Amino acid sequence: MRHLTKTQQFTRASLQQLFELADRLEKEPDDSLKGKILASLFYEPSTRTRFSFESAMMRLGGNVLSMESASQSSSANKGETIEDTIRVVNHYADIIVLRHPESGASERAAKVSNIPVINAGDGAGQHPTQALLDLYTIYRELPKVDGIHMAIIGDLRYGRAARSIAYLLGKYKDIHFTLVSSPELRMSDDVKDYLKRHNITFEETESLEKAMKSVDVVYQTRVQKERFPSEAEYLRFKGQYIIDRRLADGMKEGAIIIHPLPRVGEIESEVDDSPHAVYFKQAFYGFLVRKALLKTMLSGKKS
């Protein structure tokens, strides 16, 4: 894999190799990327994604060039294209982690880059490494991935994390989704068509409580203010689906609650000590899987 721009690039075999490497990197020190430089190029704000990539690179012995507010840089303010920026950064680093508000920006960057580009989120498009850590969390917390029943809740229209995990789980067998949202925020047809082509069954509902009682994984998502065309439309849907302790306690034994974070009220703090809540562990799993991804893409070594 030269660049990572979308989750569809993975195979089950490559996912298994990546996850096994992440398992090993949790226990074994590794400085195989000493002398390598990661350029962290973020046109949108980020905490977990940027920190986990930068920490992973440093833990592997590498160095980091970081720009969190790239949209406010002198080059961007002067009108430089993303293509020209990438061409310049190619001279300074060995790999680029790019977040951008425009869907498809990472693919534009990859077309002109001589070094690997990793999509760290492109608008309402995809966030493939978020999907990787979501899947890795399921891999670590449940006995198996095949055959799981997963509820994805909230903003399924604009949420790139929801889209990305749906694409990635298309690699597995006997997956069933319950898509919980208001009619206005339902999953787009392109994702549903993909699921149908890969024999993934799904149902759409507005009932959160019914869905939570039967699933193996609850994927709660934030209604993202920055994705809506107006604040008025955002406020129509904010707070529509909230997980409290009563709902969590009604889940079946062994089921888990995950969330891409940050949360802004859609999971109440009383849920945090529930045995079902694994969303803070999920952030650590993200560090591990991004560490494995950087090692794989920069060194070509799987062990």
Q: Known binding site for carbamoyl phosphate: residues?
A: 48-49, 99, 127, 130, 261-262
Question: What distance lies between CA 202 and its chain's CA centroid?
Answer: 21
Q: Is 85 among the residues known to form the active site?
A: no
Asked if 131 contacts 124 with a C-beta cutoff of 8 angstroms, the reply is: no
Distance CA 133, CA 143 (A): 17
- Sheet with 37-42: strands ordered across: 63-67, 37-42, 95-100, 117-122
Catalytic residue among 36, 50, 99, 108: 99
| β-pair type (95-100, 37-42) | parallel
Asked if 129 contacts 135 with a C-beta cutoff of 8 angstroms, the reply is: no
Catalytic residue among 3, 50, 100, 127: 127
Q: Is 236 among the residues known to form the active site?
A: no
Biggest distance spanned by C-alpha atoms of the chain: 56
Q: Is 78 among the residues known to form the active site?
A: yes
Catalytic residue among 49, 85, 178, 221: 49
Q: Is 221 among the residues known to form the active site?
A: no
* Bridge partners, residue 178, by sequence: 151, 203
Q: Is 12 among the residues known to form the active site?
A: no
Catalytic residue among 24, 48, 186, 238: 48
Total residue length of the chain: 303
Which active-site residues does the annotation give? Answer: 48-49, 78, 99, 127
